Chains A and B, each alone.
Chain A
């Protein structure tokens, strides 16, 4: 972890990650444990975990194209009202509008391309900034 700050009411952390499962899992655990400490419900934890997994996987696999020398930066802030996650890879980026809709009839049997759809479905806000190597996601706690 590059830096972290936590109190009873909030957590913020910045992680610079290589594509090593143990490092990625450690970062994910830090984020998820902060969410659980603030008593987000099971559905919220499920949603945030899924989006975090998909975004990190996209960053390493499609962004950095599996290059072990490249890093992914994960920044997150958790407070009682919302969770903000920003993930940036070292790739060239992509145009999110160029990703085919996996729910269209002609694409439904294609095995890939659902990560972004799931992130958008489960998070309150997903913004991909040009050139497309940085994603900002926000989850607003229901109720």
Chain B
């Protein structure tokens, strides 16, 4: 698939961001999303993307992510609330089975729309 990197992806970013047919795909640079300062930066970066869109369509892919903390879950909830307040859509994809268990335990698998693959997630946007 042809994806265009976005201009706001910088050398110090914790994210890789690309745009395809009005959908913003976000991937994480780090394998472990545990450090409080990194999580705050990730939250601020994704929030800026959401704020720059009218009706944001955001796909967050967890490719290569091995660990995440409850603070990272909190950031995802904040982003979800922000996207919904702008009448947008948020999808999560490619979550490692052990991390998916964290979503099940916290029942966040019912709050978020989670897909196994990027393709399935992309196809789910309306």
Contacts and interface: CB of A to CB of B under 8 A. Distances in A.
Interface footprint category on B: 20 to 34
Contacts of A43: 98
Q: Is the interface of A mostly helix, strand, loop or mixed?
A: helix
Interface string A105-124: 00011111111011001000
A117 B105 contact: yes
Interface in A13-44: 21, 42-43
B105 A57 contact: no
A57 B69 contact: yes
B74 A46 contact: no
B96 to A, nearest CB: 9
Contacts, number: 56
Contacts of A112: 70, 74
A114 B73 contact: yes
Interface string B58-71: 00000000010111
Interface string B98-126: 10001001111011000000000000000
Contact of A53 (B69, B74, B107, B110): B69
Contacts of A113: 70
Contacts of A57: 36, 69-71
Nearest to B84: A109
24 contacts: A21-B37, A43-B98, A46-B67, A49-B67, A50-B69, A53-B34, A54-B70, A57-B36, A57-B69, A102-B106, A103-B105, A103-B106, A108-B106, A108-B111, A109-B77, A111-B74, A111-B77, A111-B78, A112-B74, A117-B105, A118-B70, A118-B105, A118-B106, A121-B105
